[in-house]
Each structure stands twice: as structure tokens, then as C-alpha cells.
Amino acid sequence: MNSNVEFEVHVQAPVVYGIPRTAFTAEVTEQYFQAITDAARGLGQWVLFEHPQSTVTLANIDTEMVVQQYSKLAQQGCAGIAVLVNQAIVGAVRKPQALSQLPIPFQASRNPIELSHFVESVIAQFQDSSEHQNLA
């Protein structure tokens, strides 16, 4: 488990959990995504499930930078991203123009059960894909 004041990252393979605790500066955003990358190393394909604390807002977040970081994660085995949102950030993470650029499935919701189903479906897709490759 990797944790500090601003965020916590832990793994329950094949899911990497990111828990932002405060609004991020650009520097902390980079540290957060590096911690996710480090935690996911060796997993093959995996899913990012973010649970921002209720005090986190996106007032100062650069949505384009986050989309770029998400895209980098896709190049490192991330097969999907689920974000549990609160009222303060729901609008920002549902910006279709920014998130439509992602090369992997993305789901943002205030409903943790909906997100759990999304994560399970992404895992099933890459496990099915892996099984088909092994049969070929």
C-alpha cells in the first residue's frame, strides 16, 4: 500500500484503487499517477477504481491533464477506469469532450454498485480476451 496525506493507492489484483484525499496540484497529480503505475506494475491488464474523498473538488484540476494521465495508464495495461464521484466533481468527470478521447472504457457514477458491475465487466472482457488468445 502506498499512502501519503494527499492520496492512497492500493492493489487488490486485478484492481488498483486510487483514493484522492485533497484537491491536487499538478505536481501531486503526477505523483498520484506515478504511484498508480508503480502499484500496477506486473499485473498485466488491470482496472483503476478511484474513490475520491468527499472533500475532494475539481476546482483547480486540469481535466485535460487527467485525461492524458488516464491515456498513459491505458498504455501500461489499464483496461478501464471507474470513478466514484461526489456532487462537487460529478460534472467535471462527465465532460464528454474530454473523456471521449480515452482509449479505454470509463465510467463515473455516484453509485458504487454500478461501478462495481462496470469493473467486473471490464475484468471479464480482458479475461475472456486472454482465454481466447491462449486457445489460438
pLDDT above 80 (res 121)? yes
**Percent of residues, the chain, with pLDDT higher than 90:** 49
Average pLDDT of the chain is: 83
pLDDT above 50 (res 89)? yes
Residue 127: per-residue pLDDT? 85
Residue 117: per-residue pLDDT? 97
Q: pTM of the entire structure?
A: 0.85
pLDDT above 50 (res 136)? no
85 band by pLDDT with thresholds 50, 70 and 90: confident
The CATH classification number of 2-135 equals 3.30.750.24
Residue 71: per-residue pLDDT? 93
Report residue 108 as a C-alpha cell. Answer: 463515473
pLDDT above 50 (res 79)? yes
Residues ≥6 apart with Cβ < 8 Å to 19: 7, 8, 9, 50, 51, 52, 53
pLDDT above 60 (res 113)? yes
Cα 62 to Cα 98: distance, rounded to the nearest angstrom: 11
Summarised one tens digit per residue, pLDDT across range 10-61 is 999 999 999 988 777 778 888 999 999 999 999 999 999 999 887 666 555 6
Domain ranges for the chain: 2-135
User: φ, ψ for residue 40 (rounded to 5)?
Assistant: -85, -10
